[in-house]
């Protein structure tokens, strides 16, 4: 007589949403998102600042964190340096997934080998289409290797098993990024805005703004986007066009003079920027305010 032992998996990965290797520039700022599936973030190089709900913490090279379904999260490069990360997004209804929540996990050789295999197999098997940042759509290639999806599923489930067996982790709360740093960033951004307001009539550069704050250009770009969701140049252009509208309404200067006052090299570039911001040329705007 033979007995058949049913194999019951502890982790059963149902579907894959993303499996990608990303390079974050030193000024990279995420988009922030939440979704109904699990997301795994592994930092391969550099350091990454993670925000999950109201928590801010630091992820270092060789470490991993999980975002559970419907948890709002965001990521950016940290410390004025670029970073490389692996993102895996998938569905898994196993109750054992809860053991990964709010933990920074340390990986060994086995887990890193699984990660590498998943990304390599995914790159060979899928064409990636960006729908709209940060969303991605995987389309299986016609020439995908035989059994590739089973390989990805198996490797991902192995990864989860190996991580749970190691149980080598710290709570994300132990890596909280100081609220003092956040307040300092807020102050620096306000000072940058004030500097731009005070120097609208000059041809100021990112280097000049950063120098006035005593920080690097890359840090200026990162914290400005972090705090305002806008680039420094976009904000400066908005200020200049707002001032241009005020000057046009005053009717004391012609368009060429206004362009010169606001630091534009020529009237044509000023006009194109004005229309891009307002949907009207300077002439059309002047007519609209005189009606």
Give CA separation, 89 vs 113, 182, 191, 282, 291, in Å: 18, 29, 39, 48, 55
Q: Coil, strand, or helix at residue 97?
A: helix
Question: Count of CB atoms within 10 A of residue 158's CB?
Answer: 17
Q: Of 173, 239, 6, 121, which is closest to residue 230 (Cα–Cα)?
A: 239
Give the model's pLDDT for residue 80: 64
Tallying the residues shown for the chain, one arrives at 291
pTM above 0.85, yes or no: no
- How high is the mean pLDDT in each 10-residue block of the chain (291 residues)? 92 95 82 92 92 87 96 84 92 96 94 95 86 74 96 97 93 78 79 90 88 87 79 90 89 88 87 89 86 62
Residue 200 to residue 204: CA distance in whole angstroms: 8
Please give the domain boundaries of the chain with CATH numbers for all domains.
Answer: 13-175 (2.60.120.10), 179-290 (1.10.10.60)
Give the model's pLDDT for residue 176: 82
Contact 272, 280 (CB under 8 A): no
């Amino acid at each position: 007589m033979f007995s058949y032992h049913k194999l019951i998996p502890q982790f059963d990965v149902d579907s894959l949403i993303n499996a990608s290797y990303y390079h974050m520039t030193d000024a990279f700022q995420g988009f922030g998102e939440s979704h109904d599936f699990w997301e795994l973030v592994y930092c391969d190089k550099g350091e990454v600042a993670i925000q999950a709900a109201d928590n801010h913490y630091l992820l270092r090279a060789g470490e991993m964190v999980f975002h559970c379904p419907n948890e709002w999260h965001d990521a950016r490069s940290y410390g004025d340096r670029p970073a490389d990360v692996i993102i895996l997004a998938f569905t898994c209804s196993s109750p054992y997934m809860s053991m990964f929540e709010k933990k920074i996990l340390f990986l060994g050789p086995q887990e890193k080998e699984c990660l590498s295999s998943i990304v390599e197999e995914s790159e060979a098997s899928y064409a990636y289409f960006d729908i709209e940042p940060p969303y991605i759509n995987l389309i299986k290639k016609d020439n995908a290797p035989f059994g590739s999806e089973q390989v990805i599923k198996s490797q991902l489930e192995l990864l989860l098993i190996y991580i749970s067996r190691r149980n080598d982790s710290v709570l994300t709360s132990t890596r909280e990024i100081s609220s003092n740093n956040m307040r300092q960033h807020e102050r620096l951004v306000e000072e940058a805005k004030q500097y731009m307001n005070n120097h609208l009539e000059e041809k100021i550069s990112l280097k000049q703004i950063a120098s006035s704050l005593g920080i690097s250009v890359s840090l200026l770009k990162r914290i400005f986007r972090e705090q305002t969701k806008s680039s420094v140049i976009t904000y400066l252009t908005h200020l200049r066009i707002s001032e241009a509208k005020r000057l046009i309404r005053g009717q004391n200067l012609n368009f060429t003079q206004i362009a010169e006052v606001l630091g534009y090299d020529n009237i044509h570039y000023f006009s194109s920027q004005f229309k891009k911001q307002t949907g009207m040329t300077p002439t059309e705007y002047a007519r609209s305010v005189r009606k």
